[in-house]
Structure 1
Amino acid sequence: MKTYIVDAFTKIPYSGNPAGVCILDYELPDNLMAKIAREINHSETAFLHKIDNVYRLRWFTPKTEVSLCGHATLATAHILYEKGFLKSNEQIKFDTKSGILTARITNDMIELDFPQMFVDNCESNEIIEKAFDIKPVYVGKNDKRYLIEIDSIERLKTIKPDFQLLQKSDRGGFIITAKSDDNYDFYSRFFAPGVGINEDPVTGSAHCYLAPYWSKRLNKSKMLAFQASERTGIMECELLDNNRVLLRGQAITVNEMTMDWKNN
């Protein structure tokens, strides 16, 4: 099985967000994909196989399967184009647990068509404020995660969460964001201890929330975002009128290998 390691939402090796990409002749059993994802041990590993003109795509963290992953989708699209599975002018259709997602090359970036996602306003709580040592200016949540705005980029960059305390939260994911004072429109970080990822370096799915949130705050439909993890990453976000968001970024392959799974 051909497996690739791709750094997504960057053009510089060993920055951005690394993802495993496994190209399959047919879908593997779930427990085997979970073992392979644990072995690769990046925040997500994508498993891909073609059915007619659509690519079936699934994502696994080292701990669990997830329903949406931006950086591993970008990494997968990058491999399909770079390795000649598709021509640069062809659109990719992915069949996923979040419905049909598409990818295409535009200028020098890969553009992903993803759903917009939202949270409902809620009160802050003691776990959030103590675990991140922050005083939020906004808190929203849905059934999976919190979206939290603070008023300082410098504070955002220096957060060192208490992950033991976060394990007591009613949600497993935390998007923390702040308005930019430089060439970017907003900054963010993403923590997901609930799915085995303390901090994700650059998170496409988080920007499905961040783009509509900041679009209203900034009165802009096209924004440039910076994720301020240790590895850092950049993406362009553009809201569409049909509750979709375009996420654009670059990627680079850093490793290629063959994995033997038949004896597992």
Structure 2
Amino acid sequence: MIRLFQIDAFTDTQFKGNPAAVCPLDNWLDTEVMQQIAAENNLAETAFFVQKGEYFEIRWFTPTVEVDLCGHATLASAYVLFNELGYEADTIRFYSERSGDLGVSRQNDWLTLDFPADVVAQVNITAAFADALGVAPTAIYEGKSDFMIVVESEQDIKNLEPDMSKVAQLGNRGVIVTAKGNEVDFVSRFFAPQSGIDEDPVTGSAHTTLAPYWAGVFGKSELTAKQLSQRGGDLKCQVVQDRVLISGKACKYMEGSISI
């Protein structure tokens, strides 16, 4: 039996934020089996972790691929450790072979991810991006995993109706689309049909790209953010040198077990 939790991340309300499956393991399963579990769960991400002394190794899978970094499923994993598995310290150290050292700390009901900041390079605006997204970019950047597309307004973000077949052809893990917010510092949406997810409800890892960019625009290190998917999600971000602190809440939706 493998324990399974489903956690709504970056929200304190069930059916909001981004749902993630979390499977605590005593030892690693075969990669193929973890990928099959993620496909069966059919959520944007399933996280698996194994305790290794004072830290936890962690891996993340979409229904179709293993990914380098996932914020909301790491937040969900920390929620499970803190609230379901009796982890007593206020900081959890995770380690990923693909992304290095990752931390999650808690303060009351807020959980804060400590992730490496993304390094981006500006790229030329081409017709393929506007054609795929249905909106004209004002700037395009490429980071480690994703493209980040800056557009004119929050309303542009709300009105997006991308052609997913064309978005999938753009490459990389996915495409972040962002603009200045009306009530928060910045807003975004995230599309990744090339990774098996048409639209991700709330993408913590995307904020390792978004927060440094908007910190530079606004000239401040602490920012508020909202992801404008149908489920929606709220985040606080702080840029500290080459790290990004990404804070949000979480709540449990379901607990069960997998019979394999």
In the superposition, the TM-score normalised over structure 1's length comes to: 0.95
Could you list the per-position Cα deviations for residues 38-95 of structure 1 after superposition, in whole angstroms to 9, with x for gaps in the alignment? 01110000001111111111000000000100000000000000014311x4311111
Question: For the structure 1 residues 207 and 170, does the alpha-carbon distance in structure 2 shift closer, same or farther, using more than 3 Å as the test?
Answer: same
- 1:202-221 matches, within 5 Å, as 202-221=202-221
Matching of residue 153 in structure 1 with residue 154 in structure 2: yes
- 1:224-243 matches, within 5 Å, as 224-241=224-241, 243=242
- Structure 1 equivalent of residue 197 of structure 2: 197
Could you list the per-position Cα deviations for residues 153-196 of structure 1 after superposition, in whole angstroms to 9, with x for gaps in the alignment? 112111111011223224341110010122x1000000111211
What secondary structure sits across from 2:23 in the alignment? Answer: strand
What secondary structure sits across from 2:202 in the alignment? Answer: coil
Corresponding letter in the other structure for 1:24: L
> Hey, which bits of structure 1, 4+ residues long, moved more than 4 A?
none
Question: For the structure 1 residues 238 and 82, does the alpha-carbon distance in structure 2 shift closer, same or farther, using more than 3 Å as the test?
Answer: same
Contact 2:169 2:194 in 1 (8 A): no
* Consecutive unaligned residues in structure 2, runs of 5 or more: none
Could you list the per-position Cα deviations for residues 11-63 of structure 1 after superposition, in whole angstroms to 9, with x for gaps in the alignment? 01011000000011111000000000001110000001111111111000000
Distance in 1 of aligned mates of 2:29 and 2:106: 29
Distance in 1 of aligned mates of 2:257 and 2:144: 38
Compare 76-85 and 136-145 and name the one that shifted more: 136-145
What secondary structure sits across from 2:77 in the alignment? Answer: helix
Distance in 2 of aligned mates of 1:211 and 1:39: 33
What secondary structure sits across from 1:85 in the alignment? Answer: coil
Identity %: 39
What secondary structure sits across from 1:204 in the alignment? Answer: coil
What secondary structure sits across from 1:148 in the alignment? Answer: strand
In the superposition, the TM-score normalised over structure 2's length comes to: 0.96
Q: How many angstroms does 1:143 deviate by?
A: 5.3
Compare 27-36 and 99-108 and name the one that shifted more: 99-108
Matching of residue 246 in structure 1 with residue 245 in structure 2: yes
What secondary structure sits across from 2:206 in the alignment? Answer: helix
Distance in 2 of aligned mates of 1:66 and 1:171: 11
Distance in 1 of aligned mates of 2:149 and 2:47: 28
- Structure 1 equivalent of residue 83 of structure 2: 82
- Structure 1 equivalent of residue 145 of structure 2: 144
- Structure 1 equivalent of residue 100 of structure 2: 99
Matching of residue 257 in structure 1 with residue 223 in structure 2: no
Corresponding letter in the other structure for 2:54: N
Number of residue pairs matched by the alignment: 258
What secondary structure sits across from 2:230 in the alignment? Answer: coil
Distance in 1 of aligned mates of 2:92 and 2:210: 24
Question: For the structure 1 residues 66 and 172, does the alpha-carbon distance in structure 2 shift closer, same or farther, using more than 3 Å as the test?
Answer: closer
Distance in 1 of aligned mates of 2:85 and 2:254: 17
